[in-house]
C-alpha cells in the first residue's frame, strides 16, 4: 500500500471536465502531506492528457475506451488500482463517477464516501446529505478509501498544468464485454442557448406551477435576461430540457444568475457555480443555495419578483 492518490479524470469530446482539475489540485495537497504522489489517471483513446499539474499522469489509451462504457472503464480502473494500491482513489460525484466509484467500492470491498466537499489530512471526509441540508464527517476504515467529490469543492486552477503523460498498456482483456456503447444522443437545439446568455433568471420547484412561469419570463424580459431552471421544473414539463441548468442539464457562466425558488442541490450548483453574481430568493433560510449566493433574500419569490417588476 502506497501513500499515492489516484484521480480518475473525466473527459468528453477531448475536453476534460473542471472537476478533474479540482480533484488533481486537492490530491496534490494531500499527497504532499502524506509523502506520496498525486496521480492523474486518463482512460480513453487519443486524448491529450498532458494538461494536469499532477506529480504523475498515467494514460491508458485503447480504441475500446474511446467512448464511456461503465463496464470497460470500471474493469480497467479496478485492475490498475489493484496493481498500484493507492491510499485514496478520487472520483467526481458525476454521472460517470457514480458508476465507477460504486463499481470499485463493491469489487474491492473498499469504503466509498459520496457527496464529498472536503478531505482532511487525516482522511476525514466532509460529506453533504439531504441536498446539502446536513453535513456528515466520515472517517473510512481500512488501508484504502474512495472519495466521490462534488464539483466546485476545490479550486480548479491548482490542478491545471502540463505534466507529461506516461502511456501504459491495457491491464485487462476487454474482448468479452457485456455492455457496449451504441450512440451518444445530444439534446436538440432549443429556442435559445442559455450557455451564451449574460443574464439568467432561473426558477425552481418554488415557482409552484406552470402558470407562474410567465411571471419569471416577464421579469427576465425587463432585466434583458433569459429564463432557465432547475431539473424539477423541466421534469414537470413547465420548460424544455434545453433550459435546464445542472449536472444533467447545461453548464452556464452568466454575469448575473438570479434564482427564484431554487434550494441549491449539489446537482444544480455544478451547472452554475461559476456565475459572476449569484442572487438567491428562497423562503427556507437553511437552503444550501445561501452558502454560495453573493446576495440572498429569505422571502416569498412572488413578492420579490413583483417588487422588482414595479421598480423596473
Q: Specify the number of domains making up the chain.
A: 2
Answer yes or no: do 240 and 139 share one domain. Answer: no
> Is residue 180 in some structural domain?
no
The model's pLDDT over 60-85, given as tens digits with 9 standing for 90+, comes to 999 889 999 999 999 999 999 999 99
What would the mean pLDDT of 261-269 be, rounded to a whole number? 91
Looking at residues 273-287, what average pLDDT do you find? Answer: 94
For CA atoms 272, 274, 276, 280, the dihedral sign is positive
What pLDDT, on the 0 to 100 scale, is given for residue 295?
Answer: 97
What is the predicted pLDDT for the residue at 59? 96
The pLDDT of residue 187: 63
Are 158 and 228 contained in the same domain?
A: no
Residue 132 has pLDDT above 80, yes or no: no
Residues 10 and 73: beta-carbon distance below 8 Å: no
Residue 178 maps to a domain: no
pTM of this structure: 0.77
Q: Look up the domain containing 282 and give its range.
A: 194-311
CATH number for the domain harbouring residue 235: 3.40.50.1220
Q: What pLDDT does 2 receive?
A: 87
pLDDT value of residue 189? 61
**DSSP string for residues in 114-148:** EEEEEE-TT--EEEEEGGGTEEEEE---SS-EEEE
Pull the grid cell for residue 215: 411571471
137 inside domain:
yes
The average pLDDT across 301-311 equals: 96
Amino acid at each position: 500500500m502506497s501513500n499515492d492518490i489516484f484521480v480518475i479524470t473525466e473527459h468528453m469530446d477531448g475536453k476534460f471536465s473542471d472537476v478533474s482539475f479540482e480533484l488533481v489540485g486537492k490530491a496534490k495537497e494531500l499527497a504532499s502531506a502524506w509523502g506520496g504522489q498525486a496521480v492523474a489517471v486518463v482512460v480513453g483513446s487519443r486524448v491529450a492528457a498532458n494538461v494536469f499539474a499532477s506529480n504523475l499522469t498515467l494514460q491508458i489509451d485503447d480504441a475500446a475506451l474511446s467512448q464511456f462504457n461503465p463496464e470497460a472503464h470500471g474493469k480497467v480502473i479496478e485492475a490498475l488500482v489493484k496493481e498500484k494500491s493507492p491510499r485514496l482513489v478520487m472520483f467526481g460525484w458525476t454521472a460517470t463517477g457514480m458508476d465507477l466509484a460504486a463499481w470499485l467500492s463493491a469489487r474491492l470491498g473498499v469504503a466509498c464516501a459520496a457527496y464529498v466537499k472536503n478531505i482532511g489530512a487525516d482522511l476525514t471526509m466532509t460529506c453533504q446529505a439531504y441536498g446539502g441540508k446536513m453535513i456528515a464527517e466520515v472517517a473510512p476504515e481500512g488501508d484504502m478509501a474512495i472519495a466521490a467529490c462534488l464539483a466546485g469543492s476545490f479550486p480548479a486552477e491548482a490542478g491545471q498544468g502540463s505534466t507529461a503523460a506516461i502511456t501504459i498498456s491495457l491491464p485487462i482483456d476487454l474482448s468479452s464485454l457485456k455492455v457496449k456503447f451504441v450512440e451518444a444522443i445530444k439534446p436538440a437545439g432549443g429556442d435559445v442557448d442559455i450557455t451564451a446568455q449574460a443574464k439568467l433568471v432561473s426558477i425552481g420547484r418554488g415557482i409552484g406551477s406552470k402558470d407562474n412561469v410567465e411571471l419569471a419570463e416577464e421579469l427576465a424580459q425587463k432585466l434583458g435576461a433569459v429564463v432557465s431552471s432547475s431539473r424539477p421544473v423541466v421534469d414537470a414539463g413547465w420548460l424544455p430540457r434545453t433550459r435546464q441548468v445542472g449536472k444533467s442539464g447545461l453548464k452556464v457562466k452568466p454575469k448575473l444568475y438570479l434564482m427564484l425558488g431554487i434550494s441549491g442541490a449539489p446537482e444544480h450548483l455544478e451547472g452554475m457555480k461559476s456565475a459572476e453574481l449569484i442572487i438567491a430568493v428562497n423562503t427556507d433560510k437553511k437552503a444550501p443555495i445561501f452558502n454560495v449566493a453573493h446576495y440572498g433574500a429569505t422571502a416569498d419569490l412572488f413578492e420579490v419578483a413583483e417588487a422588482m417588476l414595479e421598480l423596473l
